[in-house]
Amino acid sequence: MTLRPIALAIAAVACSSAFAQQSTVTVFGILDAGVQRLENGSQARWLQSIDGLRTSRLGFRGTEDLGGGLSASFHLEGALSPDDGNAAGMNWRRRSTVSLASSTLGELRLGRDYTPTFWNYSVFSPFGTNGVGSSGNLIYGFGGKSSTAPTIVRSDNSVGYFLPKGLGGVYGQAMVALGEGAPTGKFHGVRLGFASGPVDVAVAASDTVNNAAGDKFNNFNLGGSYDFGVVKLMGIYSVSMQTTAKQTTTLLGFTMPIGAGELRASWIHADKANSPDDATQLAVGYVYWLSKRTALYTSAAQIKNKAAATFVIPGGAPLSAGQSSTGVEMGVSHSF
Amino acid sequence: MTLRPIALAIAAVACSSAFAQQSTVTVFGILDAGVQRLENGSQARWLQSIDGLRTSRLGFRGTEDLGGGLSASFHLEGALSPDDGNAAGMNWRRRSTVSLASSTLGELRLGRDYTPTFWNYSVFSPFGTNGVGSSGNLIYGFGGKSSTAPTIVRSDNSVGYFLPKGLGGVYGQAMVALGEGAPTGKFHGVRLGFASGPVDVAVAASDTVNNAAGDKFNNFNLGGSYDFGVVKLMGIYSVSMQTTAKQTTTLLGFTMPIGAGELRASWIHADKANSPDDATQLAVGYVYWLSKRTALYTSAAQIKNKAAATFVIPGGAPLSAGQSSTGVEMGVSHSF
Amino acid sequence: MTLRPIALAIAAVACSSAFAQQSTVTVFGILDAGVQRLENGSQARWLQSIDGLRTSRLGFRGTEDLGGGLSASFHLEGALSPDDGNAAGMNWRRRSTVSLASSTLGELRLGRDYTPTFWNYSVFSPFGTNGVGSSGNLIYGFGGKSSTAPTIVRSDNSVGYFLPKGLGGVYGQAMVALGEGAPTGKFHGVRLGFASGPVDVAVAASDTVNNAAGDKFNNFNLGGSYDFGVVKLMGIYSVSMQTTAKQTTTLLGFTMPIGAGELRASWIHADKANSPDDATQLAVGYVYWLSKRTALYTSAAQIKNKAAATFVIPGGAPLSAGQSSTGVEMGVSHSF
């Protein structure tokens, strides 16, 4: 992405072989900002939006070759909010991990990291979990409303294991997070997938101790994509449960290369069990890549809430039960 | 400033043309610390001072050449407080922006940034807005007292435009910041200047919605400098208004190169309309540059408050109405 | 440690002498995480531990050669908590300093820094001040319980002086921290040592104004090590006092190289004057270095509290007076 100290070191070495053992830190990041119009019910609001295409971030990472196929690595990454300069303070809560990896045995990873059940929501959604068309608008919700269910994205105190590469397209990971004596947060999760040629499919499941009574938040999801070249189809099926509450969410979408850009569209439906509080989100957008690092984008999305559902595109005016939430945005996304 | 990854990349390329497309992040910053004695009324206090010459900061920035005169860039910069190691937490509130620029059409910039009305207060003040002689001690104030008026330095949620270079010395910028549904913060501002040879002059104006009733804080300022070689004269004229309240502030000053250093002096007068609560600040100082990056400096300043005015050099003991505020400092400023 | 921009710059220069004046920023850090079992009284708890071998950190530092033996430098360093991604926010409170140094006269350092009385607790402890066997578990305590006495590790607002190298093995530093009008925090401290061949000894003393009445927290310590090659013996003697309260702490320990690793053990005894609330800590551990940057480690320690003492290995369940505190951990420590 950035600095490419490895490449620089190689260049240096090309000049002088005395500099062969440079260690490396890569400074990387993304700034993504734009302008957004959100309309909840009849109340419209203009905003400076961020993260419409990719989440703004700053990070540091590096890998050390320990020889014999072994390596140690670290990854620090925190969210940026260019609209207010991180008024709430900088942290590294997107990811803070240290790893030991073997090319044949896989990777052991410690720290704060994404849960195995997160990835399908991002990888198999045309809009990922970003912008007005984010799959998270519906999938992160529960009980007929938008909210971030615990560990649906990341977990503190985790010990993770990742399968090595070269298993004929099979990939997978497992994670355990310790409760540390707290009433909530104890987590188990696993993800298994297969990617080969145009096909990519994965299934994931997790449970999290979610209250003092020990009730568990259960999350199961299945995602897949097939790349026909002219169009890439995607789908997600997700179930979230805690005791008697249950939400089933289904996504269908596609991306279609057009010139130096890409058309994106998705349909998502959230079904609250034994309740009419359901919602449907439709989203369409276009991304134009000025370079590998920089893109212009525009997206539009609408959530239609049924009955008393309050799913919402975040950031706008307060939404009353059953109202629609509509958003349009355009922005620039630049990585380094 | 630092790392100079571009230069390194160029050097690398000079060795091997295979490394022509290195992307670049520049890590840059300043640490500026010293010792200060502040006396408000009869109460003196010794302090470890920071930012006496330049504001301590850490930042990351980079530019990507998109071809055809187009470029994308980012700039992240946050304040450092070396006296307590940023006890309040690190952020990027000095500047967090992403830009698209054309060499002929100018730059579009999104994020948290300086307002157009800030720059004259820094550029045309011998002490900038730093240290005991800061122009901000009086100019940031309003209503007969020191305080930071909203958006007098920076604004969240801004969309800015900058004129391209090569307009025969004319430079300028405009900024709009969205209110985002909040009762305050909506901003419009513009700055236009001309620099050629020894002359530099600029004028700026802005308004900010500043309370729930929609009252606007209006700021207008004019600044200029003329470099005679042996001495560089500077001046600022500033007017701040909200409904019936008004403050007019005038600065006259100079910098004079002496050896590897520079003598600095300024006189500032703040006049509160229809009130005797005025104040005058006198400041004198010397900067000695050990290198392009590192300087030793010493400054002294005194604010004389009339009637019930309470303008103050920040950091000292509480100041009663009409008391004088005096400060002396020496320090080291190091950039990277 | 990392990036080695100096070396890169040198390499670049070897290619093209036009790039001789590169300035340098080194990005450096450590991520250290593992798993820990703590047992206080009869309550056991599993945790994701951090900092078992070395404190997790991120930093930026650099030195500018000013010519004639003079240099300017800066050092910014903040703690990382990979278990939760710095949920409390990032800062630079491990160290934030700017320095001017002369090769013959020594170094003047301004900012937040370690106090002179800290170093012996780290350098002459086999476990440093990290992990279940940290010397700090007992030494940082006072009044029969674990707690962090003020300025026992670092101080804000400090002005420090360090002796130059090349004094025949003599090293030393002095520090003053300004009270800045606050009732507490005014600090004076000094450390003097001698290191030559297998011998290293140092003595340090400090006082800190510690309450509004002006009572001082006094700290005196003496540490030493002798490296026999097959084993390195270490010892610390520490006295902490405030008005009539006093704690004397003694450490004896050793490190012993075994293969690519090192066996570590220490015994520490804290004696509260005129009280039976004493405690003893025993610790043993092994570190295996996979490379210069990366290690695996395991440690075990137990604190036995007498009478009503409540010294504790931090992080576990609440400890009642007189209970034992036991900890076992294993982890990975990776620097960059």
pLDDT range class, residue A269, cuts 50, 70, 90: very high
Q: Does C184 touch chain B (CB under 8 A)?
A: no
pLDDT range class, residue B22, cuts 50, 70, 90: very low
What SS3 state is found at C138? helix
Helix axes C5-15, A5-15, angle to 10 degrees: 40
Q: How far is C84 from chain A (nearest CA, A)?
A: 5
Yes or no, beta carbons of B111 and A31 under 8 Å apart? yes
On whether the CB atoms of residues A270 and A137 are closer than 8 A, the answer is: no
Residue-level pLDDT at B162 = 98
The DSSP-derived string for B134-153 is -THHHHT-BTTB----TTSS
The DSSP-derived string for A17-67 is GGGTT----EEEEEEEEEEEEEEETTEEEEEEEE-SSS--EEEEEEEEEEE
CA B310-B316-B319 angle, 5° bins: 30
Which B-chain residues 156-175 have CB contacts (< 8 A) with chain A? 156-159
Task: Look at C180 and A159; give whichever has higher pLDDT.
Answer: A159
- Determine the residue of chain C that is closest to A4 in CA distance: C3
DSSP single-letter state for residue C293: S
Q: What percent of chain B has pLDDT over 90?
A: 87
pLDDT range class, residue C18, cuts 50, 70, 90: very low
Instruction: Provide the mean pLDDT of chain B.
Output: 92
Which A-chain residues 24-53 have CB contacts (< 8 A) with chain C? 24-25, 27
CA distances C21 to A10, B9, B175, Å, are 21, 15, 38
- The model carries a pTM of 0.93
Residues of C in contact with A110 (CB under 8 A): 33-35, 48, 82, 331-332
Yes or no, beta carbons of C84 and A25 under 8 Å apart? no
Residue-level pLDDT at A142 = 85
Residue-level pLDDT at B1 = 37
In this structure, how many other beta carbons lie within 10 angstroms of the beta carbon of residue B197?
8
φ, ψ (nearest 5 deg) of residue C113: -150, 170
Yes or no, beta carbons of A90 and B74 under 8 Å apart? no
Per-residue b or e along C53-67, where b marks 16 or more CB atoms closer than 10 Å to that residue's CB = bbbbbbbbbbbbebe
CB neighbour class for C52 (10 Å; exposed up to 12, middle 13-18, buried from 19): buried
- Mean pLDDT value across residues B103-107: 97
Residues of A in contact with C46 (CB under 8 A): 178-180
The CA distance from B124 to B141, in Å, is: 18
Q: Is the dihedral of CA B177, B178, B181, B186 positive or negative?
A: positive
> Which of A85-94, B79-88, C1-10, C82-91 bottoms out in mean pLDDT, i.e. has the lowest?
C1-10
**Non-local CB neighbours of C119 within 8 Å, separated by 6+ positions:** C191, C202, C204
Is the pLDDT score of C142 beyond 90? no
Q: Domain ranges in chain A?
A: 37-335
**ipTM, interface predicted TM-score of the complex:** 0.91
The CA distance from A107 to B113, in Å, is: 42
On whether the CB atoms of residues C222 and C111 are closer than 8 A, the answer is: no
| Tokens encoding C118 | 């800290």
On whether the CB atoms of residues C151 and C208 are closer than 8 A, the answer is: yes
Yes or no, beta carbons of A86 and B98 under 8 Å apart? no
On whether the CB atoms of residues C222 and C251 are closer than 8 A, the answer is: no
| Tokens encoding B229 | 């070689």
pLDDT range class, residue B24, cuts 50, 70, 90: confident
Yes or no, beta carbons of B178 and A290 under 8 Å apart? no
Yes or no, beta carbons of C58 and A60 under 8 Å apart? yes
Q: Does A154 touch chain B (CB under 8 A)?
A: no
Q: How far is C87 from chain B (nearest CA, A)?
A: 11
Q: How far is A127 from chain B (nearest CA, A)?
A: 21
Residues of B in contact with C72 (CB under 8 A): 290-291, 293-294, 332, 334
In this predicted model, what pLDDT tens digit does every residue of B131-179 receive, in sequence order? Answer: 999 999 999 988 888 776 679 999 999 999 999 999 999 999 999 998 8
What SS3 state is found at B292? coil
Yes or no, beta carbons of C181 and B45 under 8 Å apart? yes
pLDDT range class, residue A315, cuts 50, 70, 90: very high
Task: Supply the CATH classification number for the domain B37-335.
Answer: 2.40.160.10
Could you say which of B78, B100, B180 has the minimum Cβ distance to residue A332? Answer: B100
Yes or no, beta carbons of B72 and A290 under 8 Å apart? yes
The CA distance from B202 to A74, in Å, is: 48
Residue-level pLDDT at A131 = 98
Q: β-strand C57-67 against A279-289: which pairing, if any?
A: unpaired
Is the pLDDT score of C20 beyond 90? no
φ, ψ (nearest 5 deg) of residue C15: -85, -40
Is the pLDDT score of C16 beyond 90? no
**Non-local CB neighbours of A78 within 8 Å, separated by 6+ positions:** A57, A58, A59, A90, A91, A92, A93, A94, C85, C86, C90
The CA distance from A192 to A169, in Å, is: 11
Is the pLDDT score of C24 beyond 90? no
pLDDT range class, residue A11, cuts 50, 70, 90: very low
Residue-level pLDDT at B181 = 83
In this structure, how many other beta carbons lie within 10 angstroms of the beta carbon of residue A129?
19
* Tokens 């309740």 sit on residue: A275
* Strand partners for B255: B232, B264
The closest alpha carbon to B38, from B323, B317, B282, B321, belongs to B317
Could you say which of C5, C110, C159 has the minimum Cβ distance to residue B3? Answer: C5
- Mean pLDDT value across residues A23-52: 95
Is the pLDDT score of C138 beyond 50? yes
On whether the CB atoms of residues C284 and C264 are closer than 8 A, the answer is: yes
Is the pLDDT score of A9 beyond 50? no
CB neighbour class for C215 (10 Å; exposed up to 12, middle 13-18, buried from 19): middle
In this predicted model, what pLDDT tens digit does every residue of A226-251 receive, in sequence order? Answer: 999 999 999 999 999 999 999 999 99
Could you say which of A13, A27, A180 has the minimum Cβ distance to residue C27? Answer: A27
What SS3 state is found at A123? helix
The CA distance from B252 to B194, in Å, is: 19
Which C-chain residues 42-101 have CB contacts (< 8 A) with chain B? 60, 62, 64, 66, 70, 72-74, 76, 78, 89-98, 100
On whether the CB atoms of residues B125 and B135 are closer than 8 A, the answer is: yes
pLDDT range class, residue A149, cuts 50, 70, 90: low
Is the pLDDT score of C268 beyond 90? yes
End-to-end CA distance of chain B: 5
Q: Which of C15, C65, C98, C114 would you mutate first to test chain B, the one with the most B CBs within 10 A? A: C98
Q: Which of C16, C17, C24, C27 would you mutate first to test chain A, the one with the most A CBs within 10 A? A: C27
Is the pLDDT score of B7 beyond 50? no
On whether the CB atoms of residues B84 and C157 are closer than 8 A, the answer is: yes
- Determine the residue of chain B that is closest to A25 in CA distance: B25
The CA distance from C268 to C39, in Å, is: 19
Yes or no, beta carbons of C93 and B82 under 8 Å apart? no
Is the pLDDT score of C67 beyond 60? yes
- Determine the residue of chain A that is closest to C46 in CA distance: A180
In this predicted model, what pLDDT tens digit does every residue of C168-210 receive, in sequence order? Answer: 999 999 999 988 888 899 999 999 999 999 999 999 999 999 9
- Mean pLDDT value across residues A94-123: 98
Residues of C in contact with A95 (CB under 8 A): 85
- Mean pLDDT value across residues A100-115: 98
The closest alpha carbon to A18, from C23, C16, B13, C7, belongs to C7
Could you say which of A23, A62, A94 has the minimum Cβ distance to residue C4? Answer: A23
Yes or no, beta carbons of A76 and C81 under 8 Å apart? no
pLDDT range class, residue A150, cuts 50, 70, 90: confident
φ, ψ (nearest 5 deg) of residue B12: -60, -45
Q: How far is B255 from chain A (nearest CA, A)?
A: 33
Residue-level pLDDT at C1 = 36
In this structure, how many other beta carbons lie within 10 angstroms of the beta carbon of residue A159?
18
The residue type found at C313 is: I
- Mean pLDDT value across residues B219-231: 98
The CA distance from A271 to A252, in Å, is: 15
φ, ψ (nearest 5 deg) of residue A7: -65, -40
DSSP single-letter state for residue C82: T
| Tokens encoding A212 | 């003092």
- Mean pLDDT value across residues B31-53: 97
